Amino acid sequence: MPRIFGFYEMQPRAKITLIGILALVILASSVMYVQAYHRLKPVYQVKTDSKVVALTFDISWGNQTPMPVIEILKDKEVETTFFLSGPWVKQNPDVVNRIKEDGHEIGTHGYRHINLSTLSKSEVKEEVKKAHQIIKEVADVEPKLIRTPNGDYSDQVIEAIHEVNYEAIQWSVDSLDWMNPGVDTIVERVSKRAHPGAIILMHASDSCKQTTEALPRVIDNLRKQGYEIVTVSELLKRGEKEN
3-state secondary structure 182-237: CHHHHHHHHHHHCCCCEEEEEECCCCCCCHHHHHHHHHHHHHHCCCEEECHHHHHH
Are 74 and 150 in the same domain?
yes
Q: What is the pLDDT of residues 52-77, one digit of tens each?
A: 999 999 999 999 999 999 999 999 99
The DSSP code for 43 is: B
Are 217 and 97 in the same domain?
yes
Are 79 and 96 in the same domain?
yes
Are 217 and 127 in the same domain?
yes
Interaxial angle between packed helices 93-101 and 66-76, expressed in degrees from 0 to 180 and rounded to the nearest 10: 10
- Is residue 1 assigned to a domain? no
Q: What is the residue range of 205's domain?
A: 45-242
- Give pLDDT, residue 12: 59
Are 21 and 103 in the same domain?
no
Choose the catalytic residue: 58, 104, 132, 177.
Answer: 58
Are 23 and 83 in the same domain?
no
Q: What is the pLDDT of residues 112-157, one digit of tens each?
A: 999 999 999 999 999 999 999 999 999 999 999 999 999 999 999 9
- Is residue 95 assigned to a domain? yes
Are 59 and 139 in the same domain?
yes
Are 115 and 154 in the same domain?
yes
Using CA of residue 66, residue 77, residue 200, residue 46, what is the dihedral sign? positive
Residue 203 bears catalytic tag: yes
- Give pLDDT, residue 38: 52
Low pLDDT (below 50) residues in the chain: 1-5, 7-8, 29-37
Are 16 and 102 in the same domain?
no
Please state the pTM of the whole predicted model: 0.85
Choose the catalytic residue: 152, 203, 206, 220.
Answer: 203
Q: What is the CATH number of the domain that holds 153?
A: 3.20.20.370
Cα–Cα distance for residue pair 88/41, rounded to 1 Å: 26
- Is residue 97 assigned to a domain? yes
Residue 58 bears catalytic tag: yes
- Is residue 2 assigned to a domain? no
Domain count of the fold of the chain: 2
- Is residue 115 assigned to a domain? yes
What is the C-alpha radius of gyration for the chain, rounded to an integer number of angstroms?
Answer: 24
